[in-house]
Amino acid sequence: MIEIRCEGHTFEREVSLILALFYEDPALAFVSRWTDEPGLKLKLSLRQQADGVVADSELFDGHKRLFHQVQRSYVSLEEKAMRKTAKQAVNYALLLVLEEYTGMEQGWGILIGIRPTKLLHQLLSSGVSKEEAHRRLQQDVVLRPYKLQLLQEIVDRQLRVVPDFYQVDQELSIYIGIPFCPTKCAYCTFPAYAIRSHTASVNPFLEGLHYELERIGEWLTEHDQKITSIYFGGGTPTSITAEDMDMLFQTMHRKFPHMDKVRELTVEAGRPDTITREKLEVMKRWEVDRISINPQSFTQETLQAIGRHHTVEETIEKYHLAMEMGLTNINMDLIIGLPNEGLAELAHSLREVEKLMPASLTVHTLSFKRASEMTQNKERYRVASRDEISAMMQMASDWTQANGYAPYYLYRQKNILGNLENVGYSLPDQESIYNIMIMEEVQTILGLGCGAVSKLMAPGSGKLTRWPNPKDPKTYNDTYKILVENKLRDLNEVYAGKSAVQS
């Protein structure tokens, strides 16, 4: 039990988030006076001064007493900015006292957000020098130098891959969600439905998707809109038949303008058990640039434990088949922290990846999302400790460096094990443009199909409006016509510069 007394502020939520960086599922009690219960006691006070704030943090565990103080000047006297400064001061004081007490260092400092690279891009695109941007990130959110270096490396790489990065809002990208998979993985919270038990939904869903592709295609043509990248995700798009895939590509090419200018077309073929020679032929014919074949782990017992009903051999076999057929830009995903996996299993997976050397490798850290089967039955799964997870991340990072891969995008998740991050690595010139676009939120992403979330952004506005499609095929199938009408109406409003709509 951790008792917390907040004085001079009401930042309970932020304080809880910082504590969660140090303790898994901590039992917190915000109190106005200490109880007699044993355990950690934290007093966090905030005092206003003429030109800023002073935050004190005091920690007492019955034996040890620690104290830190942080002073901050206001950079602006606007109420919102002053509140932000005060919050940062309290969080920083808390971070310092917890780091000293636990001996853990938080590389991301007090940053809770999931897109750290976006912060750096925002500063740089506003004309701030690199040095000043770094100084601000170090001061405001206490980013540690090694994380700043990583961010800068990624940002530099993104600017090389997308040279018009700060004007790319003149174009948009498309995400197409196909919500079916062979089986549902235990950690999955994506809109993914086992295709065999949803066969009756597949054709109505495809009918809706063709309709949405056509109507959105007309809007794109009317607005003479160029498309930066297209991404088929889900679910696993290759769960549908080769003929159905072929027809979707036909509709897309018939209705979307400037298809010859699309910089990248990706299809998630994540589950090797969905890949066939016929589907690869279809993708080759429609000039798909990039596919994903995701091992997640090269340990068979792990695949069984997480409900992925395919074999390790199948992953390797399908990888070779795709390469032979000329689909050579292949991404592979690995997940760190899967049940019963530690350094030895990761080392094994990396040795296997090394035999294949895919164009890109995305290293995820297992995230306990509330809706997944795994979170709901947490006690059934044994996962590595925080220290081991950190060591595994380091192992993956060292491996990528030794094998010619470099990081090109990064995001953090809530409830991620060890407060680490997911990192996309690639060999030179094999980065995914779509991954950069979705992560950095620099242009409209039009989401079509099930579970797809559009992010609408008028060029030059920098303001995003989320527009979610239904997650389940039944609702999508029942409502797609009205859904498309509403989306086009809101899209027109956003692009006409009217105030952003909320759907």
Contacting positions for ligand SF4 (CB under 6 A): 181, 184-185, 188, 190, 192, 234-236, 270-271
The answer to whether the beta carbons of residues 365 and 393 sit under 8 Å apart is: yes
**DSSP E strand stretches across 348-457:** 360-365, 406-411, 422-426, 444-449, 453-456
Nearest distance, CB of residue 287 and ligand SF4, angstroms: 25
User: Among residues 84 and 184, whose Cβ is nearest to ligand SF4?
Assistant: 184
Nearest distance, CB of residue 189 and ligand SF4, angstroms: 8
Distances in Å between the alpha carbon of 351 and those of 270, 296, 355, 362, 397?
20, 14, 7, 15, 14
User: Among residues 192 and 464, whose Cβ is nearest to ligand SF4?
Assistant: 192
H-type helices in 126-198, by residue range? 130-141, 145-161
Cα torsion at 337, 339, 345, 347 (round to 10°)? Answer: -10
Nearest distance, CB of residue 184 and ligand SF4, angstroms: 5
Nearest distance, CB of residue 284 and ligand SF4, angstroms: 22
Sheet holding 2-7, edge to edge: 28-30, 2-7, 40-48, 52-60, 65-73
User: Among residues 270 and 295, whose Cβ is nearest to ligand SF4?
Assistant: 270
Nearest distance, CB of residue 35 and ligand SF4, angstroms: 44
User: Among residues 116 and 270, whose Cβ is nearest to ligand SF4?
Assistant: 270
User: Among residues 19 and 316, whose Cβ is nearest to ligand SF4?
Assistant: 316
- Residue type for 116, please? P
Main-chain phi, psi angles of 428, to 5 degrees: -55, 140
Segment (H or E) for 437: helix 433-440
Sheet holding 290-292, edge to edge: 406-411, 422-426, 360-365, 330-336, 290-292, 264-268, 227-234, 172-178, 444-449, 453-456, 465-468
Nearest distance, CB of residue 198 and ligand SF4, angstroms: 13
User: Among residues 228 and 236, whose Cβ is nearest to ligand SF4?
Assistant: 236
Nearest distance, CB of residue 367 and ligand SF4, angstroms: 12
User: Among residues 46 and 185, whose Cβ is nearest to ligand SF4?
Assistant: 185
